Amino acid sequence: MLDSTPSLLTTARNKLEEYLLKKGLRRSSERFAILEEVYSRDDHFDAEDLYQAMHQRSFAVSRATVYNTLEVLVDCGLVRKNQFGDEDNTKSRFEKGLGRQQHAHLICVNCHRVIEFCDPRLQLIKTTVGHTMQFQVESHSLVFYGECNDEMCVARTKAAAANANSN
Amino acid sequence: MLDSTPSLLTTARNKLEEYLLKKGLRRSSERFAILEEVYSRDDHFDAEDLYQAMHQRSFAVSRATVYNTLEVLVDCGLVRKNQFGDEDNTKSRFEKGLGRQQHAHLICVNCHRVIEFCDPRLQLIKTTVGHTMQFQVESHSLVFYGECNDEMCVARTKAAAANANSN
DNA sequence: ATGCGTGCAAAGCCTTTGCAGTCTC
DNA sequence: GAGACTGCAAAGGCTTTGCACGCAT
């Protein structure tokens, strides 16, 4: 692949630079290092995951900085913040915000696997509702909870159910 | 109105009774009192709201009992638990689960107002996705975030924005 | 040089848990 | 009477905050 198309990370870095400049915020090395880590991942990670990853990457930052930077990145659209109410009430999970179309999530209530999907009808609903309710819709969060068909997950769940029945 | 149609509360009480019996749980007065409070409200309340309301109702229960009972009520479908990721990460908000069709929420990012709406297309998406992804979808959570058009909210937001610009 | 950003640890908030006493079954 | 449920307070997990130091501007 030629370099004529800038990588996602490069685009993100430029966008962050622009945002910091516009807001009069400082371009600290921590902010760019964290951005890099975020854009090297393809999963839905929480703040602690990111904190640990930065330490393994031998760019140790404090948790405070992780939280602070994530807020900046969310604010400029480079990171998306999700509140999945499945396993853990309190924990937020993040994902990169560039280079992916709007999507929704499917979460297995047993193994907590997260699957992404897109459906154009969601956009239609958004438009209709905004219009009907006189509401400026800016973003959405659609999550379906259910049971996935992964072999190991199903097996484990069946075993657990059998256990529960014996009570 | 005649009593031939049992009230929502009565229906809920019966359902709870049935559930407790089936599960071999005890029919404590706290559980029924909390159910009554829940079904007297039409809003999206959190655990603390409920705790306070019970004390004003002079049926004082502990927070532990509030949380315990809410879990029971969620489990038997008499209460719905929402994780709105707007104002506060950690707080769950609850609403009664009977006598209302499946719906989604619209949340104002400024005043945190919660509006409910229904759209049949959501059901279609659910069906399609479940089929495509081989996933047994059990429940959903759809939230749109945006700005509502309430007069006071708009005024307050404009004032806040003006303040921010002067920085 | 100014003062924002970072790191550390402590505090905060919502929620869960442990233990003793109480009430349902 | 047995043990599940409640109340209280303490602990727990994630996140935010206060303060001192360091770095970008």
Cross-chain residue pair B106–A137, CB shorter than 8 Å: yes
Instruction: Give one DSSP letter per residue of A100-120, joined into a string.
Output: S---EEEEETTT--EEEE--H
Query: Is the CB of A30 less than 7 A from some atom of nucleic acid strand C?
Result: yes
A104-108/A136-147 β-pairing: parallel
Report the alpha-carbon distance of residue B45 to residue B54 in Å, rounded: 13
Report the alpha-carbon distance of residue B158 to residue B58 in Å, rounded: 41
Residue pairs between chains A and B whose CB atoms are closer than 8 Å: 125
What's the Cα-to-Cα distance from B140 to each of A3, A5, B112, B116, rounded to whole Å? Answer: 42, 38, 21, 14
- The beta-carbon neighbor of A133 closest among B115, B122, B129 is B115
Q: Which 35-64 positions of B have CB less than 7 A from strand D? A: 60-64
**Tokens representing B148?**
């509502």
Largest Cα–Cα distance of chain A, in whole Å? Answer: 64
- The beta-carbon neighbor of B141 closest among A85, A130, A133 is A85
What's the Cα-to-Cα distance from B47 to each of A119, B51, B80, B82, rounded to whole Å? Answer: 34, 6, 12, 12
- Whether the per-residue pLDDT at A2 is higher than 70: the answer is no
- What's the pLDDT tens digit per position in A98-149? 988 889 999 998 888 899 999 999 999 999 999 999 999 999 999 999 999 8
Report the alpha-carbon distance of residue B141 to residue B164 in Å, rounded: 33
- What's the pLDDT tens digit per position in B88-145? 777 999 999 998 888 999 999 888 889 999 999 999 999 999 999 999 999 999 999 9
- Whether the per-residue pLDDT at B25 is higher than 60: the answer is yes
CA B143 to C1' C10, whole Å: 35
Q: Model-level pTM?
A: 0.88
